[in-house]
Amino acid sequence: MHELAITEGIIKIAEKEAQKHTFKKINAIKIVVGELSGIFPQLIQDYFDIASKGTIAEGAELIVRRVEAKIKCNDCGEESNVENHRLRCKNCSSLNVKITSGKEFYVDSLEVD
Ligand SMILES: [Zn+2]
pLDDT, tens digit, 9 for 90 and up, residues 55-74: 999 999 999 999 999 999 99
CA of 83 to the centre of ligand 1 (A): 15
| pLDDT tens-digit series, residues 15-49 | 999 999 988 889 999 999 999 999 999 999 999 99
CA of 86 to the centre of ligand 1 (A): 13
CA of 13 to the centre of ligand 1 (A): 40
Name which of 97, 23, 95, 102 is nearest 65 in CA terms. Answer: 102
* CB 52, CB 58: distance < 8 Å: yes
CATH number listed for the domain at residues 2-112: 3.30.2320.80
Q: Name residues whose C-beta falls within 8 Å of residue 13's C-beta, 6 or more positions apart in sequence.
A: 107
DSSP code of 28? E
